[in-house]
Amino acid sequence: MYQNFTKLRVRYAETDQMGIAYYGAYNQYFEVGRVEALRSLNMSYRQMEEEGIMLPVRKVEIEYLKGAKYDDLLTIISRIEVFPTVRISFSHEIYNPEGELLTLGKVDLVFVSKKNRRPCKPPAEFIEKISPFFKSE
């Protein structure tokens, strides 16, 4: 398993008149979590896309337990629990500064070639960098 922690502060723009972060904002939080999880592997999603591989989302499941408040410094945990193939799945948990679990999210994405917009294998570099985390014990 591979796991990463990211911090992110709730913006005023992301609140709604219920006084908490809008339920759609969490998709951005998960996106930031994923991108930073890759970066901490020394992988750049931007570079991957520039080199011809995109990662569109195929499926999202989110459970909302408690609202995130404006200016809260959230902790986003992002986990890759299954070794990625054409498909990659991230499990996310979001905590507020009090340590309360606010949100659970599971996001499935597919590696897609920019050229023909068809599913493709992950970049060799990514497989190389993620493999050590999935060594059998």
Q: Which residues bind a copy of itself (CB under 8 A)?
A: 9, 11-13, 15-20, 22-25, 27-28, 31-32, 35, 44-46, 49, 54, 56-64, 67, 69-71
Report the residue number, 19 or 132, with the smaller CB distance to a copy of itself.
19
DSSP per-residue letters across 90-119: EEEEEE-TT--EEEEEEEEEE-EETTT--B
Q: Closest distance between a copy of itself and the C-beta of residue 137, in Å?
A: 33
Least distance (Å) between residue 127 CB and a copy of itself: 22
Pick from 63, 93, 100, 111: nearest CA to 3: 93
Complex with a copy of itself: residue 49 or 131, whichever CB lies closer: 49
Least Å distance, CB 74 to a copy of itself, is 14
Nearer to a copy of itself, 21 or 80 (CB): 21
Single out the residue of 29, 44, 33 nearest to residue 6, CA to CA. Answer: 33
The residue type found at 11 is: R
Q: Which is nearer to a copy of itself, 28 or 134 (CB)?
A: 28
For the chain, report the end-to-end CA distance as a whole number of angstroms. 12
Quote the least distance from Cβ 99 to a copy of itself, whole Å: 19
The phi, psi pair for 17, rounded to 5°, reads -75, 0
